Amino acid sequence: MTMENTWWLAPCAPLQTGIAEQAAQRQAELTKPLGALGRLEQVAIQCAAWQGQVQPSITQPHAVLFAADHGVVAQGVSAFPQAVTVEMLKNFVHGGAAMSVLTQHHGMPLTLVNCGTAIPCEQVTGVLHRPIALGTADFSQQPAMTTEQAQQALALGAEQAEHAHQQGCDLLLVGEMGIGNTSCATVLAAALLQQPVAELVGAGTGLAGAALAHKCEVLTRSVERADIGPEHDALNIAEQLGGFEVLAMTGAYLRAAQLGLPSLVDGFIASAALLLAQRFQPRVTDWVLYGHQSAEPGHQAVLAALNAQPLVSLGMRLGEGSGAAIAYPLVQQALLLHRAMATFAEAAVSSSASEG
């Protein structure tokens, strides 16, 4: 991918609002009360605006999972050691992880990208190895990465979005794996929303009691160290508190929106990455649907800031892109109903109570 250093400033693709209006008119003519399919109607209309087709269809979804580690894990903010990131990468390759099972079920390609695990794992086959470093630095003590590393991570995500687009992808699902990345998402959300960590922090890998209180203290201290204010730009926030895989997700969302490729967003970590992407390019959210509402407390605040309405709320907090994959059949069914239902005219059904 050849891009200028500030490629993220390029505008997002425009929505085809005229086509969306025609799709809305079709919804009004289908054999049902107007609005009876609820959110499914809006999904179909949104897809029409993306594709420029009154009756859109999604035939080539693609999932990309970015993996990396976080230096802040040294502070005891996770219930699992960093070795689990590489072990889980192997599990994804062998088809045993939740996202592997779901993507295989949906017939959806799953690309695995090593952005920078703490333990070198280039010997693991079935993974695209593009490590930026052996994990980020401990952001409770210093910036998580250099400016150059932040740009590398963003570009890595952009490259994957571009590759998927070249392969004919028409819906992108972006997932992550990285011990400590719920902590990363929490501090990013706190900095971007200017909200206290205590209002956002959650169990992550399963912390509770004193361990959760310790995590809250470490993350609060991390945000204080970074000292992010309204004057700080997105790249500075990224290098202070980001993770390689989280910034890769941010880059993927940005580049996908520039290419006119819609994304189906997963849970807390994915939404924090999108919130950062919105700081780079406000119109990026025109090109997303939200899959699910996580059980992580911080996700509610991020969703509110994004004015997001997730398709499902199942108490999940797994990550990996799994919530987006769970919601994917709802998108397909919304489009199926939009295309295949008869109109009142086609079915010779009266469209108002006063007729017949």
Give, in order, the Cα–Cα distances in Å from 236 to each of 92, 147, 280.
32, 8, 11
What Rg do the C-alpha atoms of the chain give, in angstroms? Answer: 21
Q: In whole angstroms, what is the distance from residue 202 CA to residue 200 CA? A: 7
Residue whose pair of structure tokens reads 């025609």 in the numeric block: 22
In the chain, count H helices and then E strands: 13, 6
Helix, strand, or coil here: 10? coil
Tell me which of 21, 320, 346, 355 is the catalytic residue.
320
Measuring CA to CA, which residue among 147, 141, 137, 209 is closest to residue 180?
137
Helix, strand, or coil here: 61? strand
Residues near 229 by beta carbon (within 8 Å), at least 6 away in sequence: none
Burial 93-113 (b: 16+ CB within 10 A, else e): beeebbbbebbeebebebbbb
Query: How many angstroms separate the first and last alpha carbons of the chain?
Result: 61
Q: In whole angstroms, what is the distance from residue 263 CA to residue 170 CA? A: 9
Give, in order, the Cα–Cα distances in Å from 337 to each of 44, 55, 274, 352.
9, 10, 29, 21
- Whether 320 sits among the annotated catalytic residues: the reply is yes
Q: In whole angstroms, what is the distance from residue 274 CA to residue 267 CA? A: 10
State the amino acid at position 41 in one-letter form: E
Q: In whole angstroms, what is the distance from residue 212 CA to residue 78 CA? A: 9
Catalytic positions are 320
